[in-house]
Structure 1
Amino acid sequence: MFYYANYYLNFSKLLGITKESKVDFQTSQKHILEMYRSGKEIPWDVRKPQPALEDAEREGLFKGLVLDAGCGFGDNAIFLAKKGYKVVGFDFSEEAVEIAKDRAKKSGVERDCEFFQADALNLDKSPLSGRKFQTILDSACLQCFDPKTQNDYINNIAPMLEGGGALVLLVVCNQSQLRSWCRGLRWMENHLNQLFCAESGWMIKDMLHTVFLENIPMVRINKGVRSFEPVTPSPCLRMVAVRPVRSKQLQVVVVASVLALAAGGLLLLLRRRAGAR
């Protein structure tokens, strides 16, 4: 499974975490929070938007109000805000949310970015409950969940996406898959096709191979000092999936359109009669 917890656990020594334990969602969540609270460099904090996100924006994949799921330090949301979008981001780390707010303020887009602390598995109990978005961005958030909770996460964000809205998803290969970029990406394609199948109410529009920038830890052999590479590209899969308009929603849209046309026709008729007088 493309489960990022193994990836995060590779940084456990940097955090002083040495206990070996079974990797599940709770373990992953705990270690990610430790990273945020440690004050050390965060591997996914590259202090700029992901190139795959920039490409998606240029292609016109973002519409209307955007939700950034698992926003981290908010760099992707800030980029979209600078492009003229209204963005709402959430993360389960309070530390990450506060940093995101600070970066948005320093970038001059605090009015166009909202950030909230929220649990992605309980969004109905968060400040985001009941809100609707035309686009949802998931930049390496889905893979933070183990296979048992990935569907729960998807079921939490799906109701927040308006009918016809799009989910823009970036999924990164974990380290075991880095040995074979193509093999890892092909496996992820198959898994995403299962998660976002028509029976689940989704329609995948496209998938393409791209890269995801990360700060990867390394050891300087000459001094034995741990450090981070400034930017390292990892293989990534970008998927765009939409929630088709349901039949009832479509009926409402059709009825509204017919009524609007009828009202317009009636108004035109009244104007003509008034002019004839």
Structure 2
Amino acid sequence: MLHDQFKVVRDSDLLEDRFAVDGVSPEEVREAVLDRPYWSAPGRDGTTILYGLTLAGRHLLVVVIAEGDEARIVSARDMKASWDASYTGDTPPPWDIGRPQPAIVRLADEGRLAGRVLDLGCGTGEHALLAAGRGAEVTGMDLSPTAIACARAKAAERGVSVRFEVADALDLPRRALTADTVIDSGVFHVFDDADRARYVTALASTLRPGGICYLMCFSDQEPGDWGPRRFREDELRAAFTDGWTFESLTADTFDLNLIQGVTQVRAWLAVIRRD
């Protein structure tokens, strides 16, 4: 974590100038960067990108630049509004490990990624490409144009047919799209409470009756409070009530590319059926 390596400069003029238009108060950013844990990755031109900072329910992407043993904050943006910036640095974001998550590979090996598959928050496409390679008809969606461009390039290179779209999962009710299977590897846990409820409603509008959502999110069993929100079992179950049935909810792990290398982080793998 960066605050273990650098003293972060408190520059009130810079903070006021940089963050006023983003609706983030300088005091909130200082508190987050100085006092809260997060993960970080190298950015462009000597910068470091900080992920996992949460202020008032908003996830922020903060960029700092090292100056000797100090680090100066140069920008902070709402992560959803600037999601594409996650994919434009010199290194990929922590969740983009260049291969499918092991839990999703197991699902594919068991023949569960079948029919019309929708991969929400598909990133650079590894899960969508995995499902398509097993014979599924796949659509992958992500907010990031850069990630989608990378996913399309991978599909062309591998000779795999996937429909990749730049889209917001919360807009699903307005789209004429029906899925038999939904993959959510790390989307559910990025929303605040209000958007999380909208997201579940959006899933219900798209997943056919009897269809399955395979959902992975951070677990409350993961120590610390960096990164996305961690969910208890009862919280996860409470998010899917009327019209949903949990077929299983098991402890699993995410692989994340953190500063110390690829690290396993405790997660939930939920198998949820649309009634």
What's the TM-score, normalizing by structure 1?
0.69
Aligned to 2:20: none
* C-alpha distance in 2 between matches for 1:157 and 1:39: 33
2:85 to 13, 26, 34: 34
Flag the structure with higher helix content.
1
Q: Does 1:243 align with 2:263?
A: no
2:253 to 181, 193, 211: 211
Amino acid at match of 2:246: I
* C-alpha distance in 1 between matches for 2:37 and 2:201: 24
* C-alpha distance in 2 between matches for 1:59 and 1:131: 25
* C-alpha distance in 2 between matches for 1:20 and 1:135: 31
Report Cα offsets for 1:17-71 as digits up to 9, x if no partner: 9x99544158231454322233432111111111101112233332311000110
1:73–1:15 Cα change, 3 Å? same
The question of whether the paired residues in 2 share the 8 Å contact of 1:9 and 1:28 is answered with no
The question of whether the paired residues in 2 share the 8 Å contact of 1:9 and 1:31 is answered with no
The question of whether the paired residues in 2 share the 8 Å contact of 1:15 and 1:34 is answered with no
Amino acid at match of 1:100: A
Aligned to 1:24: 58
* Aligned partner of residue 41 in structure 1, secondary structure: coil
1:16–1:81 Cα change, 3 Å? closer
1:82 to 95, 119, 133: 133
How many residues are paired up? 216
Shift of 1:8: 10
Q: Which runs of 5+ in 1 are unaligned?
A: 219-228, 245-277
2:172 to 123, 136, 139: 123
Aligned to 1:143: 189
Which shifted more, 56-65 or 163-172? Answer: 56-65
Aligned to 2:207: 161
* C-alpha distance in 2 between matches for 1:242 and 1:16: 36
Highest RCO, 1 vs 2 (Cα 8 Å, sep ≥ 6): 1
| Bigger radius of gyration among the two | 1
Aligned to 1:248: none
* Aligned partner of residue 90 in structure 1, secondary structure: strand
* Aligned partner of residue 214 in structure 2, secondary structure: strand
Amino acid at match of 2:204: A
Shift of 1:213: 0.8
Q: Which runs of 5+ in 2 are unaligned?
A: 1-31, 42-46, 61-77
1:173–1:11 Cα change, 3 Å? farther
The question of whether the paired residues in 2 share the 8 Å contact of 1:205 and 1:242 is answered with yes
1:192–1:20 Cα change, 3 Å? closer
Amino acid at match of 1:84: G
Amino acid at match of 2:58: D
Amino acid at match of 1:96: A
Shift of 1:107: 1.4
* C-alpha distance in 1 between matches for 2:178 and 2:265: 32
Flag the structure with higher strand content.
2
The question of whether the paired residues in 2 share the 8 Å contact of 1:8 and 1:28 is answered with no
1:20–1:104 Cα change, 3 Å? closer
